[in-house]
Chain A
């Protein structure tokens, strides 16, 4: 092993330890380098190598507490509050069906009737649009990960579909997902029907939590050069995603959603430049 590589790994370990000594939801350093991303025969994310500069990625998804601080400081009004077009879920809906709830926004991510976030401040913020996530990032002095950065951090060195292997048999240990055969009946078999507090499940080998499940995480960048400017991308699946429907809780698939759409399974994590 080369000297520089050894130093990088040591630096990564020291940094990770330092961050986590204070708070498991600190930042994880991803060293500059060339990484494999994609999957053989994947039409939107083919197997290739990419080179990235060093960056820090948040070990946890951005929480309601963090978003509340942003709103308190700026008076920011989200897309869902302006347009009253948030899409929410309740058991009984058919696959891929969501209800429009005009009362829903980040403080009431599944509508006023289903309660607010007062006791969920450590859950990921949801019911925010891509544009809302960008506004938060600008205020916080951070940014969204690129599609490649997200994937590199999610893989934690693995080249399989999942950071823990080729099959999703261990997904229960690492991700808050939907375990029901469909969405007609509620599923809380892993302890959570909707979001879980960030960091409730085991992290990947680099100490990144909830990279699969909990909420879809917005990323910057395009999949295709000529795609619609109204499109945003998000990755990692969510609490809604089951093995039969969606199954995007992996390191290869890339979702797409309108930049103004606000879903209660949609959130983000941030990155910042390495010093």
Chain B
């Protein structure tokens, strides 16, 4: 599904060049639920943005279903993203002047595509927001807004869902609800999910956990591995 090789990314702040990704190699199978954990500033969000085609790398390649994202123009990446990728962010990024319904269908309409009302209805039911179509984001709780954001990310039936700290602004109960929702979609639709988090309660939902440190993958562990807890204990320390 995803093959990343020798990926580097640096940012310039004034005269200083800050390397954020220092050569990342990563392979993610179709249908996997992968979690990327690591300290703040370790490069995990940058990696997610590159995987989503929101930003460009300095070197290396990202193959998404045999298409090299790094060789595509911004417009081509946008087209690919609208077809294959769903994005969920920590701060929901809903448009405040649009209703729940309008927020969900916005990416499709922006792309000039029609949306079936039944699809929206089904998604609203799936995220437990049936009846909220005409509400505005400010009328919703954080957990509800994130559920709208998840519905919006799934309206075009993407094969890959990228989630950046999706539970970062939520309390434990609402975090659990969001993770349950992601797990449900993963189970029912067999989507590939890559989630960035620093929360071990969220990480526990993944099949594989990747530890990011100083712009490189330091280690990774699969759920069935014996040293799963030791691995995370090291991260926690």
Answer whether A and B are interacting partners: no
Residues of B in contact with A (beta carbons under 8 Å apart): none
